[in-house]
Amino acid sequence: MRIRKRQNGKWQVEIRIHRQNISKTFADKKSCIQFGNSVEKQLRTFNTTKDMSTTVEQVIHKYIDDFSIHRKQSANEIRKWNKIIRDYPWLVRLSLAEITGEHFLRFREKRLKDGSRALNQDLSLFSVMFKKVINVYGFPLQNNPVAHIERAKENTYGRRRIITRREYKVFLESQEPYRLFFLLARNIGARPFSEITNFRWADFDNINNCLYVRSGKTNNATRTIPLTKYLVKQIEKNKNNNSEYIIPKSKIAIHKKFARLTNKYAIDDLQIYDFRRQFVRDLVERDMPIRKIARLTGHSWSSAFRLTELYSGEKHLRKFGH
């Protein structure tokens, strides 16, 4: 364990055990010592127990405590692990002595129904975890059971689901604040849950007709989203919701409302994120330069470049890309 004081006055602790490097920054040295001792004890204790009857679920929980919670995107990774435990009990209840690549072929077949990206992300999680199981925890697995599982091919043309006028009207006829959520998702291109549901009234500027994104997905500097006069009026209608948030609904509540509407009106193969995709597609079809698309949507340059390529092809790239 190594502890050092950084130039900004904070303290950093670094733990290296069995080729695994874990570091974390604290405001004081005492917290570094407590964290370092705790992590070292957990890793060393678990490493001495190499019982192959240990289940995959037990390893996942241990992996979350030792590694996942220390990552920048810890909440998202933990959510994925919890979904795997909840949806695939037949897999996670297998012991390390039983688990083989054939089980992950079965997992691949079932998970592929949720999309190529979802499958590939889960396989990557498992691959990294089993590397820790072998190299850090010291379990005598002969090989990584996920190593030779073929990843699904991404759709090179992107998701092409178009929201029709009839479908869009269904969501605009829902009660507030759900109506406002779908209206903003379609017309300002903000991320549905990391941005729209986090908009506070303090982020709404009805003088300059804009919204300020202060905590986006990539934690970049504040982004300004311009609003039409119509959208400003629609937001102002919700000012008396007795909440600091413009959309005072949780992600779960919005998903349930979305599911009820799609089931009631037989709307197939639609995702909430398709509202944002439709907005980006409209920008591309209007021949908007890539850098401006990136500024409006909060994408990195490379992501906006790829989206533009998916939605319009090389002609747009030759015109604005270089």
**Residue 51 pLDDT class (50, 70, 90 cuts):** confident
**Residue 301 pLDDT class (50, 70, 90 cuts):** confident
DSSP 154: P
Q: 283: which 2 tokens?
A: 């920008």
Query: What does the pLDDT read at residue 185?
Result: 93
In sequence order, the 6+-apart residues with CB closer than 8 A to the CB of 204 are 211, 235, 246
DSSP 153: P
Asked whether 168 and 186 are in contact (CB, 8 A), the reply is yes
% residues pLDDT > 90 (the chain): 40
Query: What does the pLDDT read at residue 241?
Result: 73
Residue 25: phi and psi, rounded to 5, are: -110, 135
Q: What is the pTM of this model?
A: 0.56
- Comparison of pLDDT for 26 and 248, the residue scoring more: 248
Q: What is the pLDDT of residues 74-88, one digit of tens each?
A: 888 898 999 999 999
Q: What is the pLDDT of residues 127-156, one digit of tens each?
A: 999 999 988 888 888 889 998 998 887 665
Nearest to 213 by CA among 202, 225, 201: 225
Query: What does the pLDDT read at residue 221?
Result: 62
* Least confident span in 15-19, 29-33, 145-149, 260-264: 15-19
Q: Is 288 helix (H, G, I), strand (E, B) or coil?
A: coil
